[in-house]
Amino acid sequence: MSTASSKRAGENAESAVIQRHPELEYVGDSEAQHYDARVSELLSPSPMLPFVGLCLLEVGTAVEIKSTMAVYGEAQARGRFYLRRKQHQRLVDEAGVYLFAVCEPRPTRPVIAAKIVPATTVGGLVSSWIDGGDRADYAQLTWGRIFDESELRGPSP
């Protein structure tokens, strides 16, 4: 998948997540470059959107949406979430969260599973940051670090 098509697929997943959860509102890059959405109405966990280590999200909470395909490539390897170091640190500083979404491996990419995880908790899952050279430092997490395989067969929308 090319960078452009990967970015487009991520934007499609982001849009699908925001449409599925009306308590979230889109935030454009001109307003906040380190997160995609914010909580506009109190958000509680549900079977479609479980939380890790949180009981609710208050209005104004920064939400970075990360998506990946369930599988990719000929080997059908688990998809990976890409985290950028500076973005992650800003989310930690703002007590923000990640909304991780695993999607079908096809162009429309419907969301199979989603989960909210505090940025501080995600930091504990990153074993090391990769030097991006001319690009931002980053880390990769397979969806198996966030989701149990059974969650990908969970409740449908």
pLDDT in tens, 80-128: 999 999 999 999 999 999 999 998 876 566 788 999 999 999 999 998 9
Q: State both tokens at 102.
A: 């695993």
CA 79, CA 94: separation in Å to the nearest integer? 27
Q: Residue 53: left if φ>0, alpha if ψ -120 to 50, beta else—which one?
A: left
Of residues 144, 133, 49, the one with CA closest to residue 98: 49
Q: Which of 3.30.1480, 3.40.1350, 2.40.160, 2.60.40 would CATH assign to domain 3-153? A: 3.40.1350
Mind listing the pLDDT tens digit for each residue in 20-74?
Answer: 999 999 997 767 678 999 999 999 999 999 999 999 999 999 999 999 988 877 7
Return the pLDDT at 60. 96
Put simply, whether the predicted model's pTM sits higher than 0.85 gets the answer yes
Return the pLDDT at 81. 94
Return the pLDDT at 1. 53
| Better-scored residue on pLDDT, 15 or 61 | 61
Burial of 76 (0-12, 13-18, 19+ CB in 10 A): exposed
| Better-scored residue on pLDDT, 134 or 153 | 134
Return the pLDDT at 152. 85
